[in-house]
Amino acid sequence: MNESRPNAMAILRERGYRVTPQRLKIYNALWNAGSHPTVIEVHQRAIKEDPTISKATVYKTLQLFTEIGLAVEMGFRDESTRYDPEVDGHINLICTQCGSVEDYDGIDLSSIKNGVEKGMKFKIFAHRFEVHGLCSKCQAK
Amino acid sequence: MNESRPNAMAILRERGYRVTPQRLKIYNALWNAGSHPTVIEVHQRAIKEDPTISKATVYKTLQLFTEIGLAVEMGFRDESTRYDPEVDGHINLICTQCGSVEDYDGIDLSSIKNGVEKGMKFKIFAHRFEVHGLCSKCQAK
DNA sequence: TTATATGCAAATCTTTTGCAAGGAT
DNA sequence: ATCCTTGCAAAAGATTTGCATATAA
């Protein structure tokens, strides 16, 4: 079930971005930071390897990583927090290109929630299921 | 498949919170705002009904709604943005009490992703599946 | 060489907090 | 009457930006 570590250097090259020591160190920091580090945590970890790495660079780099699939962002960086009154749930399809959000409710989420509640002894109050990618319109472009 | 609107007044009472005009108007604003409004959008909508409602109240109220299950928060309010290098995915179990994050990979997410890609013509690059609630430790308390 | 990336510092937003006044129960 | 909520303004944090310098290709 473990995921193998992507080759950040190769992926950067592929997409036409430069490979810099900062980017590699920030990727190390992200990968080693355990689960779901904040920007600040990534920065603190990165400056242990190179104390000159700035917070601004970490911000910029993590955004880049998100664009090229080296990281998933938890939350919307560019705006204030969003809230959803539809608490019973569906899957949100978020287009990373145009920002549109579609709903998908063609799947029975209750069995999934059941599995989690029983398997993990976790009491669920709410959930959020999102996929990030390209909507049909943006694929056509 | 449409969700019926919860009775915000009743839920507030049940949980021992006061029913105030602001709370009801903010709930209206949230419910009517269309998909996934930002805090700012909710505020702007709310002040059309009552121009004296402050942003601080909207912030506080949306946090309350999240706690009592009237809203789902998209993102982590209290900290800087989080990033996850595990782009292949699992379900994150986020405890709203102690903030712990557990992983659950006892479910086959690929069939879900397949359904989305085929059903919605959406090209998935990444996903994020979270449930919010009480971890086993916090339930015991 | 040349365009891209970095670091710094300032600017801009977002979110939280303290406190006095108002209002629900 | 009491205690929870509100609004305001200030404070604290998070994120972005402009620009000069450094550097990968």
Residues A66 and A35 in one domain: yes
Q: Which domain covers residue B73, as residue numbers?
A: 8-84
Q: What are phi and psi of A40, to 5 degrees?
A: -60, -45
pLDDT digits (tens, 9 = 90+) for A16-69: 999 999 999 999 998 888 766 888 989 999 999 999 999 999 989 998 988 887
Chain B partners within 8 Å of A113 (Cβ): 131
If you measure CA to CA, which chain B residue comes closest to A129? Answer: B129
Last residue of a domain, one of A60, A84, A108: A84
Q: Does A2 fall in a domain?
A: no
The DSSP symbol for B38 reads B
Distance A66 CA to D1 C1' (A): 56
CA distance A88 to chain B (A): 7
Angle at alpha carbon of residue B33, lines to B61 and A66, rounded to 5°: 85
Residues A74 and A116 in one domain: no
> Residues 6 or more apart from A6 whose CB is under 8 A from it?
A69, A70, B87
Number of structural domains (chain A) is: 2
Residues B79 and B12 in one domain: yes
Whether this model's pTM surpasses 0.75: no
The per-residue pLDDT for B101 is 74
Pick out the nucleotide with least CA–C1' distance to A22: C6
pLDDT digits (tens, 9 = 90+) for A82-124: 666 555 557 878 776 666 778 887 777 777 888 888 889 988 7
Percent over 90 (pLDDT), chain B? 28
Q: What is the CATH number of the domain that holds A136?
A: 3.30.1490.190
The answer to whether some atom of strand C lies closer than 7 Å to the beta carbon of B10 is no
Pick out the nucleotide with least CA–C1' distance to B25: D6
Residues B67 and B115 in one domain: no
Q: What is the CATH number of the domain that holds A64?
A: 1.10.10.10
